[in-house]
């Protein structure tokens, strides 16, 4: 991106060529996060239009729904979008994404603290770490309508219970990676559902600091044939003996305990 900007300053012809939308399919504004204003995103959307496929606004805390409204209308071919730590972004942006950006497959909403249940839409890869206002109601709707979900990061979504996991495991049979770290209401019942309904797909399961997970969860995990990694750091109700027994039974699994 810096190279294109330098080329644009060389002369009028180079300016036209460098700023052609086809050259701006992937844009990362993290380096300029403090300087990115609404006009920046609006001009980018106007310039790139349908060419833009990947945009990172990570850390751009000045960005609000108004700027992204123009973006979603003009950049309908966007596939990857990161709004990490864009704390002024609300459900309205997610609704506009769902309305206009039908090719979107990856959306990062980590630490977007204004996001609520209404924001969840039809995507395969969901990162909602730190979104502590989300509840079972939103995830149940997500699971019912987004059956192609493959990866979810729900770390620190502290309000969710086994009801969320039951709905995900029942509706999203292709779920392969799931982080439930610091989801303190999750119990062994969730692990039973996952390892029954997603046993052929589930590869990564993160359960750090889940105090209600016990040795029984490891018994359920024996049925998950595709498991490659399990995180169990600070799960105080899982014994070392149970972990050792599990490792003997399923020696290809890597533990991070």
List pLDDT tens digits, range 212-247: 999 999 999 999 989 999 999 999 999 989 988 888
pLDDT in tens, 48-70: 888 899 999 999 999 999 999 99
Q: Which of 86, 115, 144 finishes a domain?
A: 115
The more confident residue out of 122 and 98 is 98
Give 163-168's long-range contacts (Cβ < 8 A, gap of 24+): 163/136, 164/136, 164/139, 164/140, 165/189, 165/190, 165/193, 165/194, 166/190, 166/193, 167/136, 167/139, 167/140, 167/143, 168/139, 168/143, 168/194
> Is there a single domain that holds both residue 47 and residue 153?
no
pLDDT score recorded for residue 8: 35
Distance CA 63, CA 42 (A): 11
Report the pLDDT averaged over residues 69-84. Answer: 94
Confidence of residue 98 (pLDDT cuts 50, 70, 90): confident
- For residue 3, is pLDDT > 80? no
Looking at the DSSP bridge assignments, the partners of residue 151 are: 125, 177
Mean per-residue pLDDT, 91-95: 89
Domain co-membership, 76 together with 165: no
pTM summary value: 0.65
Q: What is the mean pLDDT of the chain?
A: 85
76 and 138 co-located in one domain? no
Question: Residue 92 maps to which CATH number?
Answer: 3.80.10.10
| Chain segment 174-210, per-residue pLDDT in tens | 999 999 999 999 999 999 999 999 999 999 999 999 9
Instruction: Tell me what the mean pLDDT of segment 127-137 comes to.
Output: 90
**CB distance 226 to 250 below 8 Å:** no
Does 13 fall in a domain?
Answer: no
Q: Are residues 180 and 54 in the same domain?
A: no
Instruction: Give me the percent of the chain exceeding a pLDDT of 70.
Output: 87
Domain tally, the chain: 2
Mark whether 44 and 141 lie in a shared domain: no
The rounded percent of the chain whose pLDDT value lies above 90 is 54
Query: Is there a single domain that holds both residue 157 and residue 45?
Result: no
Binning pLDDT at 50, 70 and 90, where does residue 75 land?
Answer: very high
**Residue 6 falls within a domain, yes or no?**
no
139 and 93 co-located in one domain: no
Let me know whether 93 and 218 are in one domain.
no
What is the per-residue pLDDT for 12? 46
Distance CA(188)–CA(243), nearest Å, equals 15
pLDDT at 32: 77
Domain assignment of residue 94, given as a range: 25-115
Residue by residue, DSSP assigns the chain as -HHHHHHHTT-HHHHHHHT-GGG-SEEE-GGGTTT--HHHHHHHHHHHGGG--EEE-TT-TT--HHHHHHHHHH-TT--EEE-TT-TT--HHHHHHHHHH-TT--EEE-TT-TT--GGG--S-SEEE-TT-TT--HHHHHHHHHH-TT--EEE-TT-TT--HHHHHHHHHH-TT--EEE-TT-TT--HHHHHHHHHHSTTT--EEE-TT-TT--HHHHHHHTT-TT--EEE-TT-TTS-HHHHHHHHHH-TTPEEE-
Does residue 3 fall inside a structural domain?
no
């Amino acid at each position: 991106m810096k190279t294109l900007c330098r080329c644009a300053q060389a002369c009028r012809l180079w300016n036209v060529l460098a700023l052609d939308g086809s050259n701006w399919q992937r844009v990362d504004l993290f380096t300029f996060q403090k300087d990115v204003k609404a006009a920046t995103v609006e001009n980018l959307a106007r310039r790139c239009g349908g060419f833009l496929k990947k945009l990172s606004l990570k850390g751009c805390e000045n960005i609000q729904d108004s700027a992204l409204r123009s973006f979603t209308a003009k950049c309908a071919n966007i596939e990857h979008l990161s709004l990490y730590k864009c704390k002024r972004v609300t459900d309205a942006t997610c609704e506009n994404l769902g309305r206009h950006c039908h090719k979107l497959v990856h959306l990062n909403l980590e630490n977007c603290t204004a996001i609520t249940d209404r924001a969840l839409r039809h995507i395969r890869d969901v990162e909602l770490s730190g979104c502590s206002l989300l509840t079972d109601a939103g995830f149940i709707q997500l699971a019912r309508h987004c059956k192609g979900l493959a990866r979810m990061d729900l770390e620190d979504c502290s309000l969710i219970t086994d009801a969320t996991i039951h709905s995900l495991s029942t509706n999203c049979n292709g779920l392969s990676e799931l982080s439930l770290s610091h989801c303190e209401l999750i119990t062994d019942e969730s692990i039973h559902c996952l390892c029954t309904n997603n046993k052929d797909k589930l590869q990564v399961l993160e359960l750090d600091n889940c105090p209600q997970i016990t040795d029984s969860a490891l018994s359920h995990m024996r049925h998950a044939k595709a498991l490659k990694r399990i995180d169990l750091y600070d799960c105080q109700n899982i014994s070392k003996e149970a972990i050792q027994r599990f490792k003997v039974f399923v020696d290809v699994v890597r533990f991070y305990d």
